[in-house]
Structure 1
Amino acid sequence: MREFKIPLPIARVLLDPVFRVTLNTRLPVAVQRALLDAVSLIQLVPDGSVVQHLQLGGRPAERVIAETAIPGSRTRAVPPERAAGAILYLHGGGYVVGSLTTHRSLVAHLAQETSCAVYALDYRLAPEHPLPAGLDDAEAAFLDLVHNVGYRPDQICLAGDSAGGGLALALAQRLIERHEMTPAALGLIAPWVDPTQVPAKARDLVINRAWSQACAAYYLGDGAATDAGYAPLTGNLLGLPPTYVQADVSELLHDQCCQLVSALRGAGVHVRFTETRGLWHVAQLQAALVTEAALALSELAEFLREAIQPVSIDDLR
């Protein structure tokens, strides 16, 4: 892949109409999904990426690995054959849109930066499948990685963006409560951890309030808003693994991310919180196109790599 990068100000100008059109409550959900899949095709995967189609927990999934590490990667990723663990990635999209296609570039960059296998899950979406369908699928996928693929729970990091970040947090809580399993780490990109909260602003570059509220209602269905699976920010945060949280200061979810970080630290969880300026909600999706987005994704990769691939004596020689 011949890399080309778009200057940050130009990227913002180009992306604004894309999200205004696609994340629009006036469009049927099926149309939103199709448009996002089509637009995401410009987000290329790095050279050397190997995408394998499989099933996890009875759902379609992709296992993405990098044949070679990025030369000069600031994460100093080790070769894939020495990788000590895996990442289960849960895509964002308000629990309503988003797919393996929309997030393949992000996942492939994460695989290359960490030299770990990254498993992306096609969990069921609302409104066809409201809570707890997506959480059930994520739980089944994690257990499949443990019981059938052969990873230990502490060899698997959970990561996700936006709604997928909320789902990753809810999954970690469920794994600890139901199975006494603690993942190696959590990597949360602008996680949506309490859909009951109404954003103070009408929109940011990507998300608008009307669309997010519609998604929240679709996902809740006939469930209870007090369910920690729906709003994991209100659930038990004790015993969670080291957690990375990233948000841009301009986005609708920034305040919610600050609340999460404060609550996690109050529960004794080790947290790394990165706030960017000038990016947008889940800019990491455009890591193939925007240098600043790629750097933000590298920070997440470094955190996850260190959680499951600690430096060995060989690395110090």
Structure 2
Amino acid sequence: MRDIALPLPLIRAFMGPLYRLSFDHRLPFRVQRALIDAASVLQPVPAGVRVEKLRLGGRPAERLAPRAPAATDPAAVLYLHGGGYTVGSLATHRSLNGRLAAATGLPVYAIDYRLAPEHPYPAALDDAEAAYLELVAEYGYRPERITIAGDSAGGGLSLALAQRLIARHGHIPAALGLIAPWADPNQLSERPRDLVVNGPWSRACAAAYLGGGDCDDPGYAPLHGVLAGLPPVYVQADIDELLHPQCVDLTAALRAAGVEVEFTESRGLWHVAQLQAGFVGPAATVLGEMAAFLRHAVDGQPASDIG
């Protein structure tokens, strides 16, 4: 399917009711999962990208790669999907991951990490760690040639994973690409909702993910973990979304810790609009910006030459 450019007001009018229905805290999480998985069929994978099923770190996974010869010194992206740690799947993010693969020219590995409340913290982090280590040990990627990316909860998980890899294994990824990262589930927004996310749902997700754990654990709230020593970080958020203030705080904390940061703020989009990049031009643009950042980090190719 070819990309089409639809007017933003039209897309917003459609997306708002869809997310209000799907992210209703009164619905069982299994129902929420089914609803957003069903809606994901509207988000096509771009032409020229292969999707391969596999297992990674003991979990179902996908490798999405452009149809081009592999590099002699291979690099890759490990992508961790969002969804409040309670919903989201390989299906919901297949389009985004395919576009990231096409834009970077790199294979993107996406994992179906375990979800709360059935599997609270640290299950998702354990799965992400296992996937990264398998890319190094079994697939032959050097740690500094793997970038980690994710959106929302997956963005927070990406940050927590990088901190754990450095602390436990001495592995420093090439870069982090964080789309509206949920870096501290303890923080509550003063606003009740944005187009996608609402307060009651966020609180339910945070409680489900925490389970009986410690809310001060930096693996759960990596904004308060060790930031010094992290690789370059790309952060993107729209100014009107609930997580924007948290992204501002994270960016400031990273810079204070001496981490190289690129912070992109969009206007008129919504939380993780990159999921709809196939028919929202500005969303495709910001996804391309992250792709350029990640590609530059692995091999020093100028961002202007990417995509």
- TMscore range, shorter length: over 0.9
Aligned 8 A contact 1:261 1:273 in 2: yes
SS at match of 1:100: coil
Q: CA deviation at 1:10?
A: 0.9
Aligned 8 A contact 1:83 1:309 in 2: no
> Over the residues paired in the alignment, what is the CA RMSD in angstroms?
1.2
Q: Tell me the equivalent position of 1:264.
A: 254
Match status 1:15 vs 2:15: yes
Give the alignment partner of residue 278 of structure 1, picking from 251, 255, 268. 268
SS at match of 1:95: coil
Amino acid paired to 2:31: V
Q: How many angstroms apart in 2 are the aligned matches of 1:105 and 1:82?
A: 27
Q: CA deviation at 1:213?
A: 0.3
Q: How does 1:25-40 map to 2 (within 5 A)?
A: 25-40=25-40
Give the alignment partner of residue 290 of structure 1, picking from 280, 285, 292. 280
Amino acid paired to 2:257: A
Q: Tell me the equivalent position of 2:214.
A: 224
Amino acid paired to 2:170: E
Q: How many angstroms apart in 2 are the aligned matches of 1:123 and 1:174?
A: 16
Give the TM-score normalised by the residue count of structure 2: 0.97
Aligned 8 A contact 1:162 1:190 in 2: yes
Q: How many angstroms apart in 1 are the aligned matches of 2:35 and 2:247?
A: 28
Q: How many angstroms apart in 2 are the aligned matches of 1:260 and 1:172?
A: 15
Relative to structure 1, is the Cα distance of residues 276 and 80 closer, same or farther in structure 2, using a 3 angstrom cutoff? farther
Aligned 8 A contact 2:238 2:268 in 1: yes
Match status 1:115 vs 2:105: yes
Q: How does 1:130-169 map to 2 (within 5 A)?
A: 130-169=120-159
Q: CA deviation at 1:49?
A: 1.1
Q: How many angstroms apart in 2 are the aligned matches of 1:263 and 1:176?
A: 18
> Could you list the per-position Cα deviations for residues 214-264 of structure 1 after superposition, in whole angstroms to 9, with x for gaps in the alignment?
000000000000100100001000100000000000000000000000000
Which stretches of structure 1, 4 residues or longer, exceed 3 Å deviation after superposition?
Answer: 79-84
Relative to structure 1, is the Cα distance of residues 82 and 67 closer, same or farther in structure 2, using a 3 angstrom cutoff? farther
Q: CA deviation at 1:82?
A: 5.9
Aligned 8 A contact 2:74 2:141 in 1: no
Q: CA deviation at 1:27?
A: 1.0
Q: Tell me the equivalent position of 2:205.
A: 215
Segments of 5+ residues of structure 1 without an aligned counterpart are 69-78
> Is 102-111 or 52-61 further displaced after alignment?
52-61
Q: How many angstroms apart in 2 are the aligned matches of 1:222 and 1:276?
A: 36
Q: How many angstroms apart in 2 are the aligned matches of 1:43 and 1:83?
A: 32
Aligned 8 A contact 1:173 1:236 in 2: yes
Q: How many angstroms apart in 1 are the aligned matches of 2:70 and 2:200?
A: 43
Q: Tell me the equivalent position of 1:71.
A: none
Aligned 8 A contact 1:83 1:115 in 2: no
Q: How many angstroms apart in 1 are the aligned matches of 2:165 and 2:287?
A: 26
Q: How does 1:92-131 map to 2 (within 5 A)?
A: 92-131=82-121
Q: Tell me the equivalent position of 1:76.
A: none
Q: Percent identity?
A: 62
SS at match of 1:24: coil
Q: CA deviation at 1:80?
A: 4.8
SS at match of 2:265: strand
Match status 1:201 vs 2:213: no
Amino acid paired to 1:21: L
Q: How many angstroms apart in 1 are the aligned matches of 2:70 and 2:282?
A: 26
